[in-house]
Chain A
Amino acid sequence: MSMTLDTRPDASRTTRSNQKLSVIDCDIHPLAQTPGEITQFLPVQWREYVETWGGFYRQALANTLSHPRIAPDVARHDAYPPKGPPGSDLAFMSEQHLDANNVEYGMLMPLNRGPGNQRNLEFGAALSSAVNDWQVAYWTSRDERLRASIVIPQEDAGAAVAEIEKRAGDASFVQIMVPPRSLEPLGRKRYWPIYQAAVECNLPIALHVSGINGFASTASGFPSYYIEEHHSNVQGMQSLITSLVFEGVFERFPELRIVLVEGGIVWAQALRWRLDKHWQKFRSELPHIKRPPSEYVSRHIWFTTQPLDEPERPQDLAAIFQDIGIDRIMFSTDYPHWDFDDPRFVLGKLGLAPDLAQQIFSGNAKALYNL
């Protein structure tokens, strides 16, 4: 019985007698406790570069995004470890999340405006490598549940391929990470060497909402408010699918697997309908597309659950998930971000039979990532 404000991680939730499902979390955000934790892995000339020049992005502000987040550190208010920002303390993360929520495996998605956004391409390549070294040194080597994502400088295809090949033999890396808001839509041919390397190394590509490409995040300009900007992650994912499909990426790379992380899911139903309907009229512009677009989506694209869509009629969630394909949906929490999804909440909302729910909670990720 507590007498004082409890500042420990939510230990009262450790025993989850009502949580029978094993969980694979496909979206966890580790953070460096200090910048030095990452920059220590940079060659000395790049360490000096960072100290002198800092980051260089396609936006006005040097150290923050142009729409301040609604929560400090984008985080849950209760996710602050005794020292360092949310997500920077493995022991705290274990107790509050990995242990408490029965996480069997967790996929790391390092953000921090990403090396792929750096305008200085050589620096971006060096920083990508440093982030990848850091993931191993501070996370995957310390907790066998965790898996890393190969961060790459996607605007420099040659350097990106080199980084992929460098990490491909390391089983701690289970996928390649690219921001959806790249300079050109990701279906464009300049990025195809990355897809070639991905299929050769048999690694999926994870696209986590992010990216600073200098363009507005909507077709009609920069939104005023964070609430609009947050939502525009959806349009970003929709554009991404459209580009990958219509550019013929899946025709050229029939083995390619794509994971869309943190973009939501249910909008994909109407998008598939729209792609199929209008493709018919554009066939002479797209002679390289041999199948209906929705087939490419079904075959090649996976979605993570967080933030879980909340239809006004709860039963629509299961119906739409089944239409998109239960086997394409993978559970995620986005820990430690503020719009975190608790597994018990997701389980309650899914309204699916236990075997289907288990596919979402772990089966599909096990199959995709070969766990």
Chain B
Amino acid sequence: MAERSRKNDSDNHKPPAGKSRHVVARIDDVAPGERMRVTIGRRTIALFNLDGEFFALGDICPHEFGSLCKGKLSGLARSNAPGEYAIERPGEFIKCPWHGWEFDIRTGQSYCDPETMRARSFPASVAKGADIVEYESGPVKGPYVADTYPVHIADDYVVIEV
């Protein structure tokens, strides 16, 4: 499931068996509080930056297939008793733009039906450009192929594992 990405997580070079890693953005492309939709093969993925940490969810809402990336960021409305209202964890939930289903960006878990419904969650991490060029050929795909590496080799990139 989702691993919490750390700002300088460049230790883990090899993805687990059956998984591949894809560079999808430079970290500057998605500012804190912003989101971006990326495509890896046939998957559309919504990438979120929560205060410098990156999280990736399958973009398609498990309810009626709305695009989560087009939804609204919110906190979680909670209550201890009727008539009491509070918001917890502001900005850490994405609401589907259609029916408003709420998903925890960190885990993909839906709030209205935690048992059966969740958005697909993909591990996202940050890797340094210098490390990326040392990856073996094959799995690393994305917009920053070849022609961008030499230019931005010192930058940090967001890598998603699918």
Contact = CB atoms under 8 A, between A and B. Distances in A.
State whether these chains interact.
Answer: yes
Interface of A: 1-6, 10, 12, 70-71, 76-79, 338-342, 344-345
A76 B69 contact: no
Given A342-B64, A345-B64, A76 B36 contact: no
Interface of B: 25, 29, 34-39, 44, 63-67, 69-72, 95, 97-100, 142-143
Contacts of B142: 1
Contacts of B34: 5
A2 B34 CA distance: 15
18 contacts: A1-B39, A1-B142, A2-B37, A2-B38, A3-B29, A4-B36, A5-B69, A6-B37, A6-B69, A76-B97, A77-B71, A77-B72, A78-B97, A78-B98, A338-B98, A340-B64, A340-B98, A342-B66
Contact of B100 (A70, A78, A79): A70
Contacts of B65: 342, 344-345
Contacts of B100: 70-71, 338
B99 A77 contact: no
A12 B44 contact: yes
Contacts of B29: 3-4
A76 B143 CA distance: 31
B36 A10 contact: no
Nearest to A1: B39
B136 to A, nearest CB: 22
3 tightest A-B contacts by CB?
A77-B97, A78-B70, A345-B64
A5 B33 CA distance: 13
A337 B135 CA distance: 47
Contact of A5 (B37, B44, B72, B143): B37
Nearest to B24: A1
Nearest to A344: B65
Contacts of A76: 66, 97-98
Nearest to B63: A345
| A contact face: mostly helix, strand, loop, or mixed | loop
A6 B37 CA distance: 7
Contacts of A71: 100
A277 to B, nearest CB: 35
B36 A5 contact: yes
B37 A10 contact: no
A98 B25 CA distance: 33
Given A3-B25, A338-B98, A339-B99, A78 B38 contact: no
Contacts of A4: 29, 36
Given A77-B70, A79-B97, A339-B98, 8 more contacts: A5-B36, A71-B100, A76-B66, A78-B70, A78-B71, A338-B98, A344-B65, A345-B63
A2 B66 contact: no
Contacts of A6: 37, 69
A76 B98 CA distance: 5
Given A76-B98, A338-B99, A342-B64, A2 B39 contact: yes
A1 B70 contact: no
A37 B5 CA distance: 51
A1 B36 contact: no
A19 to B, nearest CB: 12
A2 B36 CA distance: 8
Contacts of B99: 338-339
Please indicate which of the listed interface residues B44, B67, B97 has the most CB atoms of chain A within 10 Å of its own CB: B97
B133 to A, nearest CB: 20
A12 B59 CA distance: 12
Nearest to B97: A77
A10 B61 CA distance: 14
Nearest to B26: A3
A135 B37 CA distance: 36
A71 B100 CA distance: 9
Nearest to A310: B63
